[in-house]
């Protein structure tokens, strides 16, 4: 008896780490990290991002897992319940609300990008890229995104895939999918790394990524680096809270969080080490924007023997990685809807899937028929002008609003809640009182994470320059 229960507990912690890693590793690592690193000038951005993962991301990841395991509900009810448990205001549930909305909005454009990755599977499999140079590959990308119907078709398929898994319940099927896919993704990245090492401008790529030049990063770039730390770890909106309820009481939250963050970071860095050497060897532009991986990865495969096969496999695996992330974006909203209106999981999936799909159309069109619709916003203070958005498309605005504002704000409030509002004894019941790790975590959560988020916000909005003037 004893042995059996131990075993099933281990399996659950394993499932939790798998599920959370599946959520964390996705387009954020392979598509977004290289693209925003390129836009923000490289090394300094990467360094800020790594610091944010360490000092803000891991502590908040632990806090969010803790909330989920203790509350075992959707984020809105979870926070309401935990606030009541510690005698605090029911208004904390608004934090849950913001998270549910953030997940909804992120999925709307995430699905469009996942659609690009899907479109590349047949491109690769048909062998149309083999032997082609980067001009042809660039053109192909441009013609894909300029076709609204193609983008909507793939976006529709991806939303169907996401809501199909959601309607069956997230835990079923997830374990096997992730157990095999994560290693495959990783091995393919290593194959690509080998290519970049041999045929790319490898040392130039590495120095772009790892030698920080702080003159190249703006206050807005720092905000993006911090926002991305949240995005890539799936933090600040309740996804990890919902997954945290898979975790048995006696499993260590600390080591789970460290594993997830470590694996997620390694995947992103390897992706960067694959892409930038290809960029520099082929005279491509590091700051090419959201199309970056679609313009570089095919270049590598087009020149590699077996490139048709490996290239198709790469995009297939990328789609799967996006799939295990997308379900965590909408699961909190689904659980909430089921609970609130007592609808079945199936109905909740259809309703939310349709709504997310509709909002996603805006992002899909922002690359073509709505590309003229742009937003610019800056704040003028006596310390100068602070550009918040410049000619940003609908897609850019949604991304900015969610990654750079909602997720860090959600993370900040999670840190404040766990560090200052929750009763100490409850926190102690969840996280082992290790003599070094526990106080270090408390310190980071109480002081460092909130201050850092606030400073970065104020810096990007020009408030800091204004005060210090």
Quick note: the x/- pattern for ligand TRP over 326-345, rule CB under 6 A, is --xx----------------
Compute the distance between CA of residue 387 and CA of residue 379 in angstroms, rounded to an integer: 6
Part of the chain binding ligand TRP (CB under 6 A), chosen from 9-17, 47-55, 146-154, 325-333: 325-333
Closer residue to ligand TRP in complex, CB, 103/277 = 103
Burial 111-138, CB ≥16 within 10 A → b, else e: bbbbbbbbbbbebbeeebbbebebeebb
Chain position carrying tokens 């999925």: 107
Q: 358 is written with which tokens?
A: 């509709």
Size of site (CB under 6 A) for ligand TRP: 17
Closer residue to ligand TRP in complex, CB, 24/222 = 24
Contact 162, 326 (CB under 8 A): yes
Closer residue to ligand TRP in complex, CB, 120/386 = 120
Compute the distance between CA of residue 110 and CA of residue 93 in angstroms, rounded to an integer: 26
Closest distance of CB 24 from ligand TRP, Å: 5
Closest distance of CB 296 from ligand TRP, Å: 18
Part of the chain binding ligand TRP (CB under 6 A), chosen from 232-240, 278-286, 415-423, 461-469: 232-240
Q: Whose CA is closest to 370, among 179, 44, 146, 182?
A: 146
Closer residue to ligand TRP in complex, CB, 67/281 = 67
Chain position carrying tokens 């509709």: 358
Q: Is 363 in the site for ligand TRP (CB under 6 A)?
A: no
Part of the chain binding ligand TRP (CB under 6 A), chosen from 231-239, 244-252, 302-310, 414-422: 231-239
Closest distance of CB 329 from ligand TRP, Å: 5
Q: Is 225 in the site for ligand TRP (CB under 6 A)?
A: no
Burial 429-450, CB ≥16 within 10 A → b, else e: ebbeeeeebeeebbebbbeebb
Q: Is 231 in the site for ligand TRP (CB under 6 A)?
A: yes
DSSP state for residue 216 in the 8-state scheme: G
Quick note: the x/- pattern for ligand TRP over 106-125, rule CB under 6 A, is x-------------------
Residues ≥6 apart with Cβ < 8 Å to 62? 253, 254, 257, 431, 441, 445
Closest distance of CB 147 from ligand TRP, Å: 24
Closest distance of CB 135 from ligand TRP, Å: 29
Q: 206 is written with which tokens?
A: 């590495």
Contact 231, 265 (CB under 8 A): no
Q: Is 26 in the site for ligand TRP (CB under 6 A)?
A: yes
Q: Which residues bind ligand TRP (CB under 6 A)?
A: 23-24, 26-29, 103, 106, 231-232, 234, 237, 239, 325, 328-329, 407
């Amino acid at each position: 008896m004893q042995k059996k229960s131990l075993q099933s507990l281990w399996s659950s912690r394993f499932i939790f780490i798998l599920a959370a890693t599946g959520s964390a590793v996705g387009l954020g690592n392979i598509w977004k990290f290289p693209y925003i690193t390129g836009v923000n000038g490289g090394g300094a951005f990467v360094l800020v991002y790594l610091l944010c993962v360490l000092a803000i991301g891991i502590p908040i990841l632990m806090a969010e897992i803790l909330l989920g395991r203790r509350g075992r509900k959707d984020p809105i009810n979870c926070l309401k319940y935990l606030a009541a448990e510690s005698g605090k205001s029911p208004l904390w549930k608004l934090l849950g609300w913001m998270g549910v909305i953030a997940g909804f909005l992120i999925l709307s454009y995430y699905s469009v990008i996942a659609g690009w990755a899907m479109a590349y599977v047949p491109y690769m499999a048909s062998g149309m890229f083999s032997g082609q140079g980067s001009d042809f590959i660039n053109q192909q990308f441009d013609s894909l995104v300029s076709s609204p119907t193609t983008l909507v078709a793939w976006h529709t398929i991806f939303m169907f895939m996401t809501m199909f898994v959601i309607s069956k319940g997230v835990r079923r099927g997830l374990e096997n999918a992730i157990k095999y896919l994560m290693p495959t993704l990783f091995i393919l990245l290593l194959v690509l790394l080998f290519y970049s090492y041999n045929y790319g401008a490898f040392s130039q790529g590495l120095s772009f990524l790892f030698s920080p030049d702080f003159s190249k990063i703006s206050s807005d770039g720092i905000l993006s680096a911090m926002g991305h730390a949240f995005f890539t770890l799936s933090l600040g909106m309740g996804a990890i809270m919902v997954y945290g309820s898979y975790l048995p009481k006696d499993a260590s939250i600390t080591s789970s969080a460290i594993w997830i963050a470590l694996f997620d970071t390694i995947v992103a860095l390897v992706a960067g080490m694959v892409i930038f050497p290809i960029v520099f060897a082929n005279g491509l532009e590091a700051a090419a924007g959201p199309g970056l991986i679609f313009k570089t990865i095919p270049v590598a495969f087009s020149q590699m023997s077996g490139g048709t096969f490996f290239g198709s496999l790469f995009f297939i695996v990328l789609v799967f990685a996006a799939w295990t992330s997308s379900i965590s974006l909408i699961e909190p909203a689904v659980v909430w809807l089921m609970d609130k209106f007592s609808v079945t999981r199936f109905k909740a999936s259809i309703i939310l899937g349709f709504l997310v799909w509709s909002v996603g159309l805006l992002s899909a069109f922002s690359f073509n028929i709505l590309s003229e619709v742009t937003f610019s916003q800056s704040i003028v203070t006596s310390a100068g002008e602070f550009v918040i958005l410049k000619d940003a498309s609908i897609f850019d605005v949604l991304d900015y609003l969610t990654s750079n504002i909602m997720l860090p704000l959600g993370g900040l409030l999670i840190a404040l809640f766990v560090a200052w509002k929750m009763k100490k004894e409850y926190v102690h019941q969840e996280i082992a009182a290790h003599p070094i790790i526990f106080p270090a975590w408390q310190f980071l959560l109480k002081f460092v994470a909130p201050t850092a988020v606030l400073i970065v916000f104020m810096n990007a909005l020009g408030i800091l320059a204004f005060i210090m003037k």
